[in-house]
């Protein structure tokens, strides 16, 4: 008996130690409009356990009440931001964090939701009356917050609702917006600075779209058969293209509109091209005078193209890949192709012509040409092969003669000797910091070398033969002298745009050297001068021509300011005394270096004449010299009517 009592007591103690089961609790409340406290029925809510992340859903009744039955814990309770009973409305998001214990009821967990502001309106065609369905309307906030976008499609009556929704769904969307509207067949439209000033409001903004235009026609071959799958392209003035393919009947329609060319227009002049493999590409111009217009009858006939093929090889053997072959048809048309791994090239879609020039180029090889290659419609000219010899290299160094220092930045130029002498270099290179230069693509032959560098005397080597790679050439430059100065008047006023001719004096004779012009402040600089004496001739229309001799030393700069005195001008005619016909002759002011030639009408004018009584003479190899004495010249004036009737030599 005693054992039984002990066993029952132990069992009783065990039963008392077991925990009681937790009871579910309740969270309830109402969801209403913040504006008028009216109930929001049928809106969904979620309750998410903050520990387990499990989600339970509920919906409000017609009276706006809701209730969750939940296990004890902490929950984030959130109404949805939209409700089916209020289409096109979005609420600002709100949440409550609620903790319930076993069997606890948490009532009064209420939400007063605020409707977001939104945009509405109608999208019309350009007439402002015809609605446009399926237009995309979006908005972008321009006054600060980061997302602010919305998207909506217009209904069949052209109407739309667009509600901006920032990334932070608890934030207001109040701000300033740009509305964007696009629709196939129309130019996109934007409206800026559309203000959304408050929530619970709807801002009405109607929008019109500019219609695109179409260009249509047919494409046929030279015998009138339709050409399918030809590409018809219209190029936009701002870049990009509109294009279409011809169908089996050769017909095409190019739509000219641009979704992202906001507030654009199709009106304008456009280049149009028609391309199809095997035919010569054709170009034309189209002019669209009004938006929404349809330009029909733009028909074109394509000519069958010709083809040129061949192989480019090296003189040392083997095909040359990557060589460029260009063809010029003699009428401004140019085509290009690149050789494949075997040196084979194909120039296709060529316009028929008997005047093609083929040019072949490849780095490190001497280019080749062929002239008057004939191409006929639909035919292939094969076997136009070229053999390129390897080009030569020409390298060396430019040094200063005074100290053998490297001359950086010197321009080394090569001119082909078998061409008419020109100042346009065939090859040019600027020396590096070590004075070095290298030409890596020189065709064999004889060249003239010219080296230029500010502060140094120009160096010229009249002839050098490059028949193999040339390296180690050294050219030394002498330091140059220079003349700097200012041209001014007796009143110390700068004389701009004065012509300054520089002559080297060789045994008293003038040898033309260079020219320059004074700047707006009267300053001038003559550089790259060898050691010696130079004569500067300063000429203007309003001042007396001045001759100045200046001695220049190696590597030094000589400063010489030049004062000019005010002058006048003389003009008149020179005629044959016997016939009265105009004569071209030289008119010279005696005692000065001033002169001028009369023109085909016998008219002459001499500027820069010193004031006072001057003697003028007219000189010609076919007439006796004639003079005019005491010609009065005044500052700033032109003495007219100083005419000469000269007698032919017997």
Average of per-residue pLDDT across 488-494:
94
pLDDT of residue 188: 93
Phi, psi (5° rounding) for residue 469? -60, 130
Reduced to 3 states (helix: H, G, I; strand: E, B; else coil), residue 286 is strand
In the predicted model, is pLDDT for residue 373 greater than 80?
Answer: yes
- Is 353 in contact with 330 (CB distance < 8 Å)? yes
Domains and CATH numbers, the chain: 25-113 (2.60.40.1120), 118-210 (2.60.40.1120), 212-302 (2.60.40.10), 306-387 (2.60.40.1120), 392-477 (2.60.40.10), 481-564 (2.60.40.1120), 568-646 (2.60.40.1120)
Rounded-to-integer distance, Cα 213 and Cα 288, Å: 8
Higher pLDDT, 339 or 510: 339
pLDDT of residue 11: 46
pLDDT of residue 144: 54
pLDDT of residue 15: 44
* Tens-place pLDDT, residues 393-427: 999 999 999 999 999 999 999 999 988 877 799 99
Phi, psi (5° rounding) for residue 119? -110, 145
Average of per-residue pLDDT across 60-65:
97
Tokens of 95: 């949440």
In the predicted model, is pLDDT for residue 259 greater than 70?
Answer: yes
Closest CA to 397 of 356, 345, 350, 451: 451
Average of per-residue pLDDT across 213-225:
96
Which of 6-20, 348-362, 487-501, 521-535 has the weakest average pLDDT? 6-20
pTM (two decimals): 0.58
pLDDT confidence tier of residue 438, bands split at 50, 70 and 90: very high
| Tokens 């590096």 sit on residue | 432
Cβ within 8 Å of residue 491, ≥6 positions away: none
Average of per-residue pLDDT across 599-611:
95
In the predicted model, is pLDDT for residue 512 greater than 70?
Answer: yes
In the predicted model, is pLDDT for residue 6 greater than 50?
Answer: no
In the predicted model, is pLDDT for residue 495 greater than 80?
Answer: yes
* Tens-place pLDDT, residues 330-362: 998 999 999 999 999 999 999 999 999 999 999
pLDDT of residue 19: 56
* Tens-place pLDDT, residues 581-601: 999 999 999 998 889 999 999
Rounded-to-integer distance, Cα 428 and Cα 344, Å: 31
Average of per-residue pLDDT across 28-38:
97
Written as one string, the DSSP assignment of 312-343 is EEETTSSB-TT-EEEEE-SSS-EEEEE--TTS
Rounded-to-integer distance, Cα 216 and Cα 299, Å: 8
pLDDT of residue 95: 97
* Tens-place pLDDT, residues 317-327: 899 999 999 99
How far apart, in Å, do the first and last CA atoms of the chain sit? 179
Strand pairing class (25-33; 105-106): parallel
pLDDT confidence tier of residue 9, bands split at 50, 70 and 90: very low
* Tens-place pLDDT, residues 141-169: 876 554 556 789 999 999 999 988 888 88
SS (H, E, C) 153-211: ECCCCCEEEECCCCCCCCCCCCEEEEEEEECCCEECEEEEEEEECCCCCEEECCEECEE
Share of the chain above pLDDT 90, in %: 82
Rounded-to-integer distance, Cα 514 and Cα 527, Å: 9
Mean pLDDT in the chain?
A: 92
Tokens of 243: 């294009």
DSSP state of 478: P
């Amino acid at each position: 008996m005693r054992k039984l009592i002990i066993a029952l007591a132990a069992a009783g103690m065990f039963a008392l130690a077991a925990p009681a089961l937790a009871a579910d609790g309740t969270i309830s409340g109402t969801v209403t409009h913040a504006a008028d406290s009216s109930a929001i029925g049928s809106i969904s809510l979620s309750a998410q356990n903050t520990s387990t992340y499990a989600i339970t859903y509920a919906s409000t009744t017609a009276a706006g009440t809701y209730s969750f039955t939940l296990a004890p814990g902490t929950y984030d309770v959130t109404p949805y931001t939209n409700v089916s009973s209020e289409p096109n409305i979005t609420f600002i998001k709100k949440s409550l964090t609620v903790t319930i214990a076993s069997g606890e009821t948490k009532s009064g967990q209420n939400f007063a939701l605020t409707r977001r502001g939104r945009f509405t309106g109608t999208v019309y065609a350009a007439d402002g009356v015809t609605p446009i369905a399926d237009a995309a309307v979006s908005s972008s906030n321009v006054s600060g917050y980061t997302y602010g976008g919305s998207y909506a499609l217009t209904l069949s009556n052209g109407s739309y609702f667009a509600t901006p929704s920032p990334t932070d769904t608890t934030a207001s969307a109040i701000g300033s917006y740009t509305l964007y509207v696009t629709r196939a067949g129309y130019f996109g439209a934007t409206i800026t600075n559309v203000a959304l000033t408050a929530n619970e409001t709807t801002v009405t903004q109607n929008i019109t779209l500019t219609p695109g235009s179409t260009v249509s026609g047919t494409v046929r071959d030279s015998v009138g058969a339709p050409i399918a799958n030809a590409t018809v392209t219209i190029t936009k003035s701002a870049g990009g293209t509109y294009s279409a393919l011809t169908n089996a009947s050769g017909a095409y329609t190019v739509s000219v509109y641009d979704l992202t060319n906001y507030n654009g227009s199709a009106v304008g002049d456009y280049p149009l091209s028609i391309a199809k493999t095997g035919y010569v590409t054709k170009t034309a111009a189209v002019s669209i005078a009004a938006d929404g217009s349809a330009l029909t009858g733009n028909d074109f006939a394509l000519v069958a193209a010709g083809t040129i093929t061949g192989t480019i090889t090296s003189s040392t053997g083997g095909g040359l890949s990557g060589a460029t072959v260009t063809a010029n048809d003699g009428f401004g048309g140019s085509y290009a192709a690149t050789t494949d791994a075997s040196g084979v090239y194909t120039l296709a879609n060529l316009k028929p012509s008997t005047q093609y020039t083929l040019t072949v180029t490849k780095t490190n090889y001497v280019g080749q040409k062929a002239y008057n290659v004939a191409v006929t419609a639909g035919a292939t000219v094969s076997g136009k092969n070229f053999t390129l010899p390897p080009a030569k290299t020409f390298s060396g160094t430019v040094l200063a003669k005074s100290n053998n220092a490297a001359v950086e930045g010197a321009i080394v130029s090569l001119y082909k000797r078998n061409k008419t002498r020109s100042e346009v270099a065939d090859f040019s290179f600027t020396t590096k910091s070590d004075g070095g230069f290298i030409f890596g693509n020189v065709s064999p032959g004889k060249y003239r070398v010219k080296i230029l560098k500010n502060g140094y005397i120009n160096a010229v080597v009249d002839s050098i033969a490059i028949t193999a790679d040339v390296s180690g050439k050294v050219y030394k430059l002498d330091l140059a002298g220079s003349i700097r100065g200012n041209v001014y008047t007796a009143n110390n006023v700068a004389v701009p745009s004065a012509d300054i001719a520089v002559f080297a004096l060789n045994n008293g004779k003038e040898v033309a050297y260079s020219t320059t012009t004074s700047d707006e402040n009267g300053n001038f600089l003559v550089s790259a001068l060898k050691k010696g004496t130079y004569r500067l001739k300063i000429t203007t229309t309003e001042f007396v021509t001045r001759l100045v001799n200046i001695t220049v030393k190696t590597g030094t700069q000589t400063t010489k300011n030049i004062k000019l005195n005010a002058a006048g001008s003389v003009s008149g005619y020179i005629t044959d005394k016997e016939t009265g016909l105009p004569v071209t002759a030289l008119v010279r002011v005696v005692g000065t270096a001033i002169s001028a030639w009369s023109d085909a009408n016998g008219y002459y004018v001499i500027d820069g004449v010193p004031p006072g009584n001057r003697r003028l003479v007219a000189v010609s190899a076919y007439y006796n010299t004639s003079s005019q004495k005491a010609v009065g010249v005044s500052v700033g004036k032109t003495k007219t009517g100083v005419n000469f009737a000269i007698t032919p030599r017997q």
